[in-house]
Amino acid sequence: MRVRSGKRAYNCRICSKLFTTKGSLKMHMRLHIGATPYKCEICNKQFTQLSNLNEHMRVRSGKRAYNCRICSKLFTTKGSLKMHMRLHIGATPYKCEICNKQFTQLSNLNEHMRVRSGKRAYNCRICSKLFTTKGSLKMHMRLHIGATPYKCEICNKQFTQLSNLNEHMRVRSGKRAYNCRICSKLFTTKGSLKMHMRLHIGATPYKCEICNKQFTQLSNLNEHMRVRSGKRAYNCRICSKLFTTKGSLKMHMRLHIGATPYKCEICNKQFTLKGNLKQHMRHHTGETP
C-alpha cells in the first residue's frame, strides 16, 4: 500500500535519499560501498544489480536489443547506444582547458579537473574522510562493512583491495620482498616486517595492568581494555547501535546492505555470517549440532 500511495518510508542514512521499499534501499546501499553480489559464472565479473548482470550476459551472447533511431545501428547496452548518439551531435564535447584532454561526458571532465586541482570532493558519510574520486571512496567504504570482492582462486580467501590479494599471492609463492635492515631477515609483507622490527627494540611493549596480557600494538591493548570494561565505542552511523570492537561493527553493517560474503560451494546459497554458513553445511553433511 505504501508503493501505491507514493509514500517513501525508507531513507538512506548516508545520503538521505528516500525509497518506497526495503529492497530498493538495500540495492541503493550497494552503490555506497561498491558491493557486487551478482557474479557471471563464465568470466567471474561481478555486478551491483541483477539487471546489470543480465545486460552483461546479453553482451556475451551477442544479442543486440538497443537500436539507434537515426542510423539504425544496433547495440547490446543502453550505455553504448547513448555514447554512440554523441557521434551524431559532436564527439568529445567536454575539454580540459589546461591539458586539452577531451571527454564524452561532463562527469568525466569534472573528475579529471578535481584530480588535477587536488580537491577532495567525495566524503565518507560514516567517518568523514575525504577523497578525490568516487572509486577511492568506494574502495574505502569496503573497510566499514568488511566487503571483500577480491578472491584467491587457490584457497578462496577474500580481500578488500587488489593490492592485498597480490601480497597474499606473493606469500603463497614464497617470494620475500621486504628485508630487515638490521639483521637482513626477509619477509613477504610489510606488516610482518614491522612486527619483526619490534624484536629489535623490545617485544610486546603494551601490557594490560589487570591481567598482565601483553600486546605488540597499542591499538590491540586499547581494544582489549574496551572489551574488559564493557564500553561500546564503535557506533553504527545508520541505526546508532553500539559495539565494543571494529569487527563486530563490520559484521553488523552487512545487515544494512544485504551483503552475503559467505557462500555454500555445494548449492551456492549465500549468508551474511560465517556461523550461518556452518549451520547450513550440516544439512549437506548430515551432522547434528
CA–CA distance, 77 with 81 (Å, rounded to integer): 7
For 32, 33, 219, 236, the CA distances from 29, given in Å and listed in that order, are: 5, 7, 30, 14
Residue 96 CA to residue 20 CA, distance in Å, equals: 40
Domain boundaries, given as residue ranges, for the chain = 1-33
Amino acid (one-letter) located at 237: R
**What is the per-residue pLDDT for 1?**
40
Q: Which residue has the cell 591539458?
A: 99
- 184 pLDDT above the threshold of 70: yes
DSSP classification of residue 99: T
In terms of pTM, does the model score above 0.75?
no
- H-only helix segments in the chain: 2-5, 22-33, 50-61, 78-89, 106-117, 134-145, 162-173, 190-201, 218-229, 246-257, 274-285
Predicted pLDDT at 93: 74
C-alpha 85: how far from chain center: 33
DSSP 8-state code for residue 156: -
Convert the pLDDT of each residue in 136-182 to its tens digit: 888 888 888 777 778 887 788 888 888 788 778 777 777 767 788 88
| Percent of the chain at pLDDT exceeding 90 | 0
What's the pLDDT at 22? Answer: 85
Average pLDDT in the 237-264 region? Answer: 80
| pLDDT single digits (tens) 14-49 | 888 888 888 888 888 877 777 777 788 778 888 877
Distance of alpha carbon 121 from alpha carbon 128, whole angstroms: 11
Q: How far apart are the C-alpha atoms of 234 and 226, rounded to whole Å?
A: 10
Other beta carbons less than 10 A from residue 175's beta carbon: 10
What is the Cα–Cα distance from 231 to 217, expressed in whole angstroms?
Answer: 20
**Fold (CATH) for 1-33:** Double Stranded RNA Binding Domain (3.30.160)
- Cβ-proximal residues to 214 (8 Å cutoff; 6+ apart), any chain: 204, 205, 206, 207, 208
CA–CA dist 196, 210 (Å, integer): 26
Strands 66-67 and 74-75: antiparallel
Name the pLDDT band for 135 (thresholds 50, 70, 90). Answer: confident
